[in-house]
Structure 1
Amino acid sequence: MSKIHDIKPRWAEGLPETPPWRSLGDSVLVDTPWMRVTRHPAVAPTGADADYVVVRPKNVGTGVLPLHDDGTVTLVGQHRFALMRYSWEMPEGGAPEGEDPFEAVKRELAEEAGLTAAHWRAALDVDLSNSITDERAMTWVAWGLSATETAPDETEVFLSARVPFGELMAEIARGAVRDGLTVATAYRAYHMAREGELPAALARSMLGA
């Protein structure tokens, strides 16, 4: 797994930073196969005493937006426990410590969407909800798609839908597609198509040009 580099925005180079948080120790409140929750006596940037709790997932989140040659995308629908709500998303999963996230996301594309891809391009490497968790996520766009067998795990039931990229963007704007990684990766894919980072024919199909 690639190391996270502390890259500053170009416009922030040379600017001072505010004082950091300081942790004075930690205790483990919850430890499961998927995450750890730690509690920290801390000192805030203002110097005030604080009590901080952090959720620390044990996987790197992964996701892929599968782009078909005709400008459609394959999405999967499933019920999400935390929100007790149905969600339409790109294929997503997680890479346990020691597994290459790229290998993990290729597996998820096959297991959830029944697809393999000839071409991949990295889309995002982001921190999720960084006030309460240190979770990292990495996403890709993929094209040159071929069908393969799905293989959901014992807790997963999926539907799949193939929709025009423009329709996905419209449903994001309408608030009907809410998964954060899907939303962010779709906008990144739109930017890639506009900026010439994807094959020209694929970009034209996505953008309806």
Structure 2
Amino acid sequence: MPAYSPPTPTPDPTAQECRVPHQTGNPWTVLSSTTQYENPWIEVIEHKVLAPTGKPGLYGVVRPRSLATGVVAIDGEGRVTLVGQHRFPLDQYSWEIPEGGGDKSVDPQLSAARELREETGQTARHWLPLMTMHLSNCITDEVAHTFLAWGVEEGAACPDDTEALSVRRVPFAEAVAMAMTGAITDSMSVASLLKVQLMALNGSLPDDVARLIRS
């Protein structure tokens, strides 16, 4: 019997027509912008636009008033601190790294340190920037900065009066497994934990925190 050869795909005659030239400039034309809703935390702006194709349309953007921050905090036993809370928009419980908003005029690391202290009672002697993220960039211009923190000391938490939080500490490998299996779904938490894991694998973490993660 002759060897099997898969059929040769038939070229799509429309493929070339659908190809869009690579562009890095802004192809949108904003005709007008109007704030449709605002409160102390967000502003919703409606833009009348011409799309990249030239067609008129509307584009709504949610603009948070705060900068988002998050912390992967590693204690002396190599454990990650996770915070659990019910997320109102999703109507479901979520385990996450300590996160919160900060004034856009304040150093994001200072805001992240404040959130870590308020939510968990922890402070950290060592900090390393992890990543800057754009969250859900089709509907919001929200920016997040996340950090790795170690040299952790315990203290008393003082969460906001709107927060009902649970705190747990799990081995770093378990936190990564939670991100991989979907037990953690928060985007800042998943991205930050996997970034730390990658840095550990390629040897780009400081030795003292790398030893904690491997322990």
Q: Pairwise mapping of residues 1-209 of structure 1 onto structure 2 (< 5 A)?
A: 16-17=23-24, 20-207=27-214
Structure 1 residue 181, shift from structure 2 partner: 0.3
Structure 1 residue 176, shift from structure 2 partner: 0.9
Aligned equivalents of 1:52 and 1:39: distance in 2? Answer: 6
Is the contact made by 2:99 and 2:115 (CA closer than 8 Å) also made in structure 1? yes
Note closer, same or farther for the CA distance 1:19–1:162 as it changes in structure 2 (3 Å cut).
closer
Deviates more, 1:194-203 or 1:141-150: 194-203
Structure with the greater alpha carbon radius of gyration:
2
Q: Which amino acid aligns with 2:158?
A: A
Number of equivalences? 194
Is the contact made by 2:31 and 2:48 (CA closer than 8 Å) also made in structure 1? yes
What is the RMSD of the two structures over their aligned residues, measured on CA atoms?
1.5
Q: Which amino acid aligns with 1:120?
A: W
Structure 1 residue 19, shift from structure 2 partner: 5.6
- Which structure 1 residue ranges, 5 or more long, are not aligned? 1-14
> Structure 1, residues 133-169: CA drift from partner, whole Å, max 9, x if none?
0100100000000012211011111111110111111
Q: Which amino acid aligns with 2:103?
A: P
Aligned equivalents of 1:197 and 1:108: distance in 2? Answer: 26
Aligned equivalents of 1:91 and 1:158: distance in 2? Answer: 10
Write out the 4+ residue segments of structure 1 that deviate beyond 4 Å after TM superposition: none
State, as a whole percentage, how many aligned pairs show the same letter.
43
Q: Which amino acid aligns with 2:92?
A: R
- Which structure 2 residue ranges, 5 or more long, are not aligned? 1-21
Note closer, same or farther for the CA distance 1:26–1:204 as it changes in structure 2 (3 Å cut).
same
What TM-score do you get using the length of structure 2 for normalisation?
0.85
